[in-house]
Amino acid sequence: MKIGFIGLGNMGGPMARNLAKSHNVTGFDTLTKPENIPLAQSAAAAAKDADVVITMLPNGDILRSVAAEIHPAMKAAAIHLDCSTVDVESARAVATQAETHGLQAIDAPVSGGIGGATNGTLTFMAGGAKTAFETVQPLFDIMGQKAVHCGASGNGQAAKICNNMILGVTMIATCEAFVLADKLGLDRQAMFDVVSTSSGYSWTMNAYCPAPGIGPESPADNDYQPGFAAELMLKDLNLSQIAAKAADADTPMGQAAAALYKEFVENEGGAGKDFSAMLPRFERRNRG
């Protein structure tokens, strides 16, 4: 396939490089100029004549702006595959705009972080027409290990923010439990051995334990250098609450998690740390 790839940062760059091993990829980014990817002079130039245009962008406003630039330049029936994590409303608006230009659209945010992008092991959550999903399935197979079709346009974003709301809430609960265990005199390894094999089992405990030296290796063992940055968790939790408000859904735990990560990132040194650094955050605090 001929592919245009717009947004070549920490995630988009490795994804584009993996695709370039077997497809004709032309990239564009306003800031980053990765090696081994031919670059166009503009987003529209990267999109021209492409079978698929992939975008990996920071937020919904930028996605809308880029879509307005590239859709008129894309050839009829081409696919706009957006892998950004944005609000559901923006994803659906871009899909509608694509249709007016005779294009197909898929919103497919990813899970797996920079490591997954580099190693080609991402998970994609996709919304849009099933036929378009099937057309880009070979690209998902190169960039990731799994792609799930979640339904209509916007449902990929819905799946991502629901998943990450669970992740944020669960990480906070896991960190709180470790600190409570410490103050009750319960050894961390003993707690892990019990919880990881009983009803408290979770991904944040078993696969990504926030306590250094406990369980499989995680960012906690590297001074909480980001695997998934606290700022990105805050972004996703904020998106979940925007969606909850729009859908009139009661999400008190998601709302509380968003507030805690906001305080952590903006006022408690969490910026630049992994989202599991909530554990030392709770260690520093008393019940207030």
- Cβ 167 vs Cβ 233: under 8 Å: yes
Tokens standing for residue 37 = 């990817």
160 is catalytic: yes
Question: How many whole angstroms separate alpha carbon 261 and alpha carbon 153?
Answer: 29
Interatomic CA distance for residues 155 and 129, integer angstroms: 11
Query: Angle at Cα 91 formed by Cα 87 and Cα 96, nearest 5°?
Result: 145
**Amino acid at site 19:** L
In this structure, are residues 3 and 52 in contact, taking their beta carbons and an 8 Å threshold? yes
Of these residues, 2, 21, 160, 183, which one is catalytic? Answer: 160
Tokens of 10: 């920490």
Q: Residues 25, 48: contact at Cβ < 8 Å?
A: no
Cβ contact 237:168 at 8 Å: yes
- Provide the annotated active-site residues: 160
